[in-house]
Amino acid sequence: MGRIENHKEDLVNQIAEHYSAILKLVGEDPEREGLRKTPVRAAKAILDITSGYRSEPLTIARQAIFEHAGSQMVIVKDIEFYSMCEHHILPFFGRVSIGYIPKGSMIGLSKLARIVDSFARRLQVQERLTSQICNLLDEAMPTDGVIVCCTGEHLCMKMRGVEKQDSATTTFDYSGRFAEEPTLREEFMRLLNC
């Protein structure tokens, strides 16, 4: 079963007009056979890619907070993400790993992936994406610390500019005991096999 699109037709048409104008400006004919439907398809795609603007990550998180008496580290590794660089409007993508130390509560694991998507599906920079995820989890529930590791590949470095094909960027943010105790950060890294 395919995904159901739920785009407002008026908004799609407005965006499509701009894509049609861009095609003309770069030297293409938006009326040629292969491009006739491209402005509408591109409009729907950009709405999907930026769907994070129409979601509320804190609400997502708070839908699945449960009591938990444990105090050991919880890690969800390798949550894939796709985003768009706000500087060039080119894709960047990769994986996010999140760890936290519960303090009387825990979050449903699928919500962590939804939170990542909510922030990633906006015009973004990787550094902000990493800190937004960390800060949101600190706000959404009581913890003894949160740590987020994000590794991404940026097409603005691979397709244009310096054109370095094998480059990747890793960013971290952390709070609570992860900020105070380097051994906890080291344990998180070891468990990620970094």
Assess whether 126 carries a catalytic annotation: yes
Say which of 56, 87, 127, 180 is annotated catalytic: 87
Dump pLDDT digits (tens) for 97-156. 999 999 999 999 999 999 999 999 999 999 999 999 999 999 999 999 999 999 999 999
Reported pTM:
0.91
Assess whether 68 carries a catalytic annotation: no
Which CATH architecture describes the domain 9-49? Orthogonal Bundle (1.10)
Assess whether 149 carries a catalytic annotation: no
Dump pLDDT digits (tens) for 6-36. 889 999 999 999 999 999 999 999 999 999 9
CATH number of 60-192: 3.30.1130.10
Q: For the chain, which residues make up each domain, given as ranges?
A: 9-49, 60-192
What is the secondary structure of the chain as a DSSP string? Answer: -PPPP---HHHHHHHHHHHHHHHHHTT--TTSGGGTTHHHHHHHHHHHHTGGGG--HHHHHHTTEEEE---S-EEEEEEEEEEEETTT--EEEEEEEEEEEESEEEE-HHHHHHHHHHHHSSEE-HHHHHHHHHHHHHHHS-EEEEEEEEEEEEHHHHTSTT--TT--EEEEEE-THHHH-HHHHHHHHHHHT-
